[in-house]
Structure 1
Amino acid sequence: MIDRVLRLYPAGYRSAYGEEIADVHREMTTGLPRAARLRADADLAGHALRVRLRLDSASPGGRFFALAAPFALAVAAVADGLVLTRWYEGLVRSPAPAWLQLTHTDALWGLHQLFAALVCVGAVVALSGRWVPGVSVAACGLLGEAVQGALAPEVTNGSPFAPAMALLTLATVLACPVDRRPDWELSALAGTVAAVGWFPVVALDTGVFGVTTDYDAWPVLVLAAASVTVALRRRSSGVRETGAAAVAALPLVTGALTWAHYAPWPFVGLLLVLPLAGALTAGVRAVRRRR
């Protein structure tokens, strides 16, 4: 079995480290139950594929997705949190009794709420420090959203982008290398993005403040601010941080395009937010260097 798994590694990597990997793997799995050995083989196969795809922790791609994954999860939590709170708002404001509305909820719409709840719960668990169980729960929700969006687009307002965006978020989160999972600081910042991106929109949706957040632009602005914060803390150029934020923000941007009924200007405006954030980072870094 180990020989077949080793073939998944690139030839150069296999010739340099294959024998050592095989010896360590055999030593670690000797005497283990069959199920445990299969899990170890699966972990090794996953690492081999990451190395082949250049998504391991030592590669630029791996470092990129390690940064993008928590923010993609935060954006998914914002989007699905808004789905849940807007559903709840409609439930409360309707003159019909809540129990009557719940018992007459369409099955497709009920599934949509369930998938959104799974994503939100999974994001909270993952960003609270339990990455693997949280991502597992969120992945179930995202996969369900992708399938439902493809088979029943009416639940996503007919958006043709929804299934692809759910799969993109899922792929981004799963591409995070095992040994580069977000630390508490990055998780806390991503959690803050989720909370700050979600709560003001919910508050404004009530109409109490007399203003709106058309096209849900606010969460994108929050994400841009987070990318600037990470870049400045790490004293980097901001290119990787801006790129990671752009990947995480795609579901929001394409959602805005749908809500705007494909009007170009709101879409273009949101596209400019992250490049401007990157330019701001570069400007602040240049000022710091001069000092």
Structure 2
Amino acid sequence: MIRRVLRLYPADYRAAYGGEIADIHEEMTAGMSRPARLRADADLAAHAVRIRLGLHSTAPAGRLVAAAAPFALGAGAVVHGLRLTSWYAGMVTSPAPVGLQLATLPLDYGLALLFSLLVCGGAIMALCGRWVPGVVVAVSGLLGSAALAACVFGELVVAPAVALTTVAVVLACPPDRRADRRLQTTAGIMAGCAWLPVVAVNTRAFGVSTEYGAWPLLVLSASGVVLALREGSRGLREAGAVALASPPMITYACTAWGDARPMLGGLLALALTGAVPAAFRTVRRPR
């Protein structure tokens, strides 16, 4: 089995480290039960794929997805959380008894709410420090939402593509980069700041009565700017991370507008995510 797994590594990497990897793997898995050995083989295969795709923690692509993964989870949680709160607001304002509403809830709509609850709950778990179980729950909800959109609601392209993109970004995060508490905290704050004002607007708690979908995307972009300024970077990686995390929020904005114009605003926001830190560095540079 180990020989087949080693073939997943690039040829030059396998020639340089294959023997050492095989010896260490055999030593570590000696005496393990079959299920435990299969998990170890799967972890090794995942590492080989990361090396081949350049998604390990020392590669630029690996560092990019590591920065994007918490924000992708947060963005997914915001959109699915807005779906849940919209349903809840409609339920409590309806004159029909709550029990009757729940009893007559269509199965497909009930599944959509369940999957949204999994996404939100999993994202909260992951961003609060329990990354692996949280990602398992959130990814289950995202995959369920993608399947439901394609098979039941007839949304064959956009909704499944957005959900699968988020899943890919989250799962691509290198294992040794998952415990970045600063990134997780920033992504959690971003999600809260993107979600709560929209809920307040939709419940008429503010002086305005319409939300056009721009706020969550603006908060996401602002989070990228804050992250770049805090790290003292040029903002390119943060702009890339925001771009990878933005599909759920761009889709939400397009749905609110009823057309694709918010995509232009999204591109402008992404440009600002990279331009603001670069301008700040230029101003701060000693003359």
TM-score, normalised relative to structure 2: 0.96
**2:96 matches 1:100:** no
- 2: distance between equivalents of 1:263 and 1:3? 49
**2-side partners of 1:60 and 1:153: how far apart?**
38
Check whether the contact 2:55–2:62 (CA below 8 A) recurs between aligned residues. yes
SS across alignment from 1:215? coil
Calculate percent identity across the aligned residue pairs: 57
User: For residue 71 of structure 1, what is the aligned residue in structure 2?
Assistant: 71
Q: Is the 8 A contact 2:6 2:48 kept in 1?
A: yes
Matched, 1:225 2:219: no
Aligned to 2:252: 255
For 1:255, give the aligned amino acid: Y
SS at match of 2:258: coil
SS in 2 for 1:210: coil
Could you tell me how far apart the structure 1 residues matched to 2:64 and 2:260 are? 32
Output the amino acid matched with 2:102: L
In the alignment, residue 216 of structure 1 is paired with which amino acid? G
- In the other structure, the counterpart of 1:142 is 142
Report if the CA contact (8 A) 2:2-2:41 is conserved: yes
Contact map agreement 2:85 2:199 (CA 8 A) in 1? yes
The runs of 5 or more residues in structure 2 that have no matched partner are none
Deviation at 1:153, TM superposition (A): 2.5
Output the TM-score relative to the length of structure 1: 0.95
Q: CA deviation at 1:252?
A: 1.1
Match of 2:164 among 164, 167, 177: 167
Q: How does 1:104-143 map to 2 (within 5 A)?
A: 104-143=104-143
What CA deviation, in whole Å up to 9, does each residue of 1:116-164 have, x standing for no partner? 000000000001101000000001000001101111236xxx6841111
Q: How far apart are 1:231 and its partner, in Å? A: 0.9
Deviation at 1:25, TM superposition (A): 0.5
Change (3 A) 1:263 1:238: closer
CA RMSD of aligned residues (A): 1.4
Structure 1: runs of 5 or more not aligned: none
Is 2:275 the counterpart of 1:279? Answer: yes
- How many residues end up aligned between the 2 structures? 287
Structure 2 SS opposite 1:214: coil
For 1:107, give the aligned amino acid: L
